[in-house]
Amino acid sequence: MAGASGVSKMERLLGLLTVLIDAPRPLTAAEIQARVPGYPTDLTAFRGAFERDKVAVRTMIGVPLAPQAVPGTDPPAVGYRLHPRDAHLADPGLEPEERAALHLAASAVRIGGLEATGGLWKLGGAPGPGGSEAPVADVGELPADRNLVRFFTAIADQRDVTFAYRGEQRRVAPHRLDYVRGRWYVTGHDHGRDDTRHFRLDRIDGDVETGDRSEHRRRSGGGAGVRLAPWELGGDASVTARLLVDADQRPNALATARGARVVEERDDGSVVLEMRVTSRAGFRSFVLGFLDHAEVLGPPELRDDVVAWLAATIDRVEGR
Amino acid sequence: MDAVERLQRLLSIVSWVATQPDGAPIDEVARRFGVAERELLDDLGLASMVGADSPDHDDMPIEFFVEDGRIHVFLYSFRQPLRLSPEQGLALVAAGAGLLAVPGTDPDGPLARGLAKLAGVLGIPVSESVEVDFGQVHPPTFHRLQEAVDQHRQVELDYYAFGRDERTQRVVDPWLVFQDGGEWYLAGHCHRAKGERVFRVDRIEGLAVLDTSFTPPAEPPTRSSYRAGDHEPRVTLDLDADARWVAESYPLDDAAELDGGRLRVVLPVSARPWLERLLVRLGPTGALRSADEGIPADLAAEVATRILRRYGAV
């Protein structure tokens, strides 16, 4: 809406971007006030309006309008400018069908609280009618996590992040974000442990701070970990488990047990699966999901573990 | 729409129109950027006034005129659109990764290529930076199901009801295939249960698309895998600190902190086998404190004994 000067906020912001982008040198606040139509003449009112506009610029391009020294000033003055490289989107060179596919994706998949429309405008708006894309399943909305954007920015800028996780402060060079089993995970190099680690975003306590440029190089394939099955998500000594599953549970077992091998098919329709186990707790939980329709055949330590767990279950009930 | 959004849209419009050799029809620009024609011309009018009264700028950044229903734009600044904010970049990249995770999307098709280009300007290797996984489904089942939904044709399912631990045949009016919590679901009217039901697609063990058609509901079904019922019995569980995952995994009626990081939760029981599984998985880390009628207080011990019998350990 137009302010007292008759200049709307949109015009003022456009004027601000015009003078800041590719200014030959950083412009002082006083110069900005004089050159951009629509700023109040009162200094306090101007400062308030300029601060709000700085936030607006950051919202639009994601880059903060940071004060810089103005060369050749004595006493030293600070000023503002935007490098065209920071202000503008490099042309990704999208073909029409690629732009259409991105539009389709943004309409089929929404990320909670994140608006895709502004990005689609910047990529040239909606493609022409007559797109022959078949309708796809409406995926709906994926939840967003409050730290998702911060991690995404840190990945793009290759910066370290620090945060509290399970009561410990972590410094991590984040590599990737995964949405698996309904949750967001970040994978990165944990400097404290000098190894790759996965973190569930909803288990991070408090705020995530972005730090220095990360010295740790991005490694590919680091995200496979969050796709591992429950019986692989652990640091126990690796053993190969043999699990007998009854006929009625066979399709369910084969659908759930990613990475398991069928080593025996019995005449009654039951199957014996073999799987590599590095988490006894995860394996036990998986096996107990079959109730009495499955049985751990070996090795003995895994079989004993299930038996001991069930005995402890009975003890707890009877010990009440 | 606030000034910030309007300005982003306007600068996107001018940079796009300026690349069109003969300008662009007003109606096409309006449609492309989702703006009313009147508003479009008003915004362009405002933009063309910027710099007009500034002594320091010889050139006004944006000039435009309209002739024969076409907009022509000349730019002295803003030839490229504004940079994507991280929120906008993430919204597009994650949506693209999400659609790539839908069975049947060509992993090397236009979407993947578009995402790769977008990732290039954002400075990330996209396929390795953001990935979405909706769980494994059998693609042909998924497609035939989706087709049946689109064509309003009944299906016959051979379905494994995990919660009830039983395999059933049922005829269903398929209303909607949707994703929730990282899994694919089918919502529809089940003729066996005579009511609305939700089925996990990966537990459909057989699917036949029937010739009979059905009338879809006027109101689209809820996209939630969980249909809470007030009639379902409730249990109260005491969870040790390392069993708190239960509170994150299931819908709760109530939760209260106890000492030592323990938690007391009240939750609905959709089916007996579901509760049996939960109790033996909890094992010694949880306890059934109280339950509605029909659920024995020593259910955990009863189930554990049943399983132990199989191991010859009872």
Q: Within a domain: residue B99? A: yes
Which residues lie closer than 8 Å to A230 by C-beta, 6 or more apart? A279, A282, A283, A285, A286
Please tell me whether residues B304 and B240 are part of one structural domain.
Answer: yes
Q: Which residues on B lie below 8 Å from A54 (Cβ)?
A: none
- pLDDT value of residue A132: 43
Is residue A163 within 8 Å of A200, Cβ to Cβ? no
What are the tokens at B243? 């069993």
Is A134 an 8 Å CB contact of chain B? no
- pLDDT value of residue A13: 93
Q: Within a domain: residue B305? A: yes
Instruction: Answer yes or no: do A126 and B309 touch at CB < 8 A.
Output: no
What are the tokens at B27? 């109606």
| DSSP code at position B201 | G
Q: Which of B55, B75, B95 is the last residue of a domain?
A: B75
C-beta neighbour count of A24 within 10 angstroms: 6
d(CA B273, CA B307): 13
Task: Give how many domains chain B has, as a whole number.
Answer: 4
pLDDT grade for B224, boundaries at 50, 70 and 90: confident
Which residues lie closer than 8 Å to B32 by C-beta, 6 or more apart? A124, A125, A126, A127, A128, B16
Q: Which residues on A lie below 8 Å from B11 (Cβ)?
A: 14, 17
Which residues lie closer than 8 Å to B93 by C-beta, 6 or more apart? A152, B115, B118, B119, B122, B124, B126, B129, B130
Please check the confidence at residue B169 and state whether its pLDDT lies above 80: yes
End-to-end CA gap in chain A: 69
The CATH number of the domain holding residue B21 is 1.10.10.10
Which residues lie closer than 8 Å to A200 by C-beta, 6 or more apart? A183, A184, A185
| DSSP code at position A88 | B
pLDDT grade for B213, boundaries at 50, 70 and 90: very high
- pLDDT value of residue B103: 86
Q: Which of B36, B54, B75 is the last residue of a domain?
A: B75
Instruction: Answer yes or no: do B118 and A92 touch at CB < 8 A.
Output: yes
Q: Please compute, for residue A189, the number of CA atoms within 13 A of its CA located in the half-sphere on the CB side.
A: 15
Instruction: Answer yes or no: do A98 and B113 touch at CB < 8 A.
Output: yes
Structural domain harbouring B279? 234-310
d(CA A36, CA A32): 6
Q: Within a domain: residue B100? A: yes
Please tell me whether residues B64 and B110 are part of one structural domain.
Answer: no
Instruction: Answer yes or no: do A291 and B205 touch at CB < 8 A.
Output: no
Please check the confidence at residue B302 and state whether its pLDDT lies above 70: yes
Using CA coordinates, name the residue in chain B closest to A127: B32
Phi, psi of A249 (to 5 degrees): -100, 0
What is the arithmetic mean of pLDDT over B6-13? 94
What is the arithmetic mean of pLDDT over B161-180? 87
B191 min Cα distance to partner chain A (Å): 23
Kind plus residue range of the DSSP H or E element containing B27: helix B26-32
The CATH number of the domain holding residue B171 is 2.30.30.100
Q: What is the mean pLDDT of chain B?
A: 87
Q: Per residue in B246-263, pLDDT tens?
A: 887 787 888 888 988 899
Q: Within a domain: residue B219? A: no
**Which residue's structure tokens are 């009240």?**
B266
Which residues lie closer than 8 Å to B233 by C-beta, 6 or more apart? B268, B269, B291, B292, B293, B294, B295
Q: Within a domain: residue B71? A: yes
Asked if ipTM goes beyond 0.85, one says no
- pLDDT value of residue A110: 87
C-beta neighbour count of A186 within 10 angstroms: 29
Question: Minimum mean pLDDT among A289-293, B127-131, B203-207: which range?
Answer: B127-131
What are the tokens at A137? 């399943």
Q: Which residues on B lie below 8 Å from A21 (Cβ)?
A: 77-78
Instruction: Answer yes or no: do B12 and A14 touch at CB < 8 A.
Output: no
Instruction: Answer yes or no: do A139 and B81 touch at CB < 8 A.
Output: no
Q: Within a domain: residue B148? A: yes
- A282 forms beta bridges with none
Task: State the pTM of this model.
Answer: 0.79
pLDDT along chain A (320 residues), means of 10: 64 91 89 90 93 93 89 89 88 89 88 88 80 58 89 90 90 91 88 85 90 70 65 82 92 81 93 92 92 94 95 85
Please tell me whether residues B29 and B48 are part of one structural domain.
Answer: yes
Kind plus residue range of the DSSP H or E element containing A43: helix A43-61
Q: Which residues on B lie below 8 Å from A227 (Cβ)?
A: 133
Instruction: Tell me chain B's radius of gyration from C-alpha atoms.
Output: 29
Between the ranges A248-262, B166-180, B215-229, where is the mean pLDDT highest? B166-180
Instruction: Answer yes or no: do A176 and B223 touch at CB < 8 A.
Output: no
> Looking at chain A from residue 12 to 31, which residues have their Cβ under 8 Å from any Cβ of chain B?
13-15, 17-19, 21-22
Q: Which residues on B lie below 8 Å from A15 (Cβ)?
A: 50-51, 54
Q: Please compute, for residue B208, the number of CA atoms within 13 A of its CA located in the half-sphere on the CB side.
A: 8
Q: Within a domain: residue B228? A: no
Q: Within a domain: residue B146? A: yes
Q: Which residues on B lie below 8 Å from A102 (Cβ)?
A: 92, 95-96, 111, 114-115, 118
Which structural domains are found in chain A, ordered by start?
9-85 (1.10.10), 96-215 (2.30.30), 230-318 (3.30.70.240)
| DSSP code at position A70 | E
d(CA A135, CA A6): 47
What percent of chain B has pLDDT above 90? 47
Nearest CA to A92 out of B81, B93, B121, B125 is that of: B121
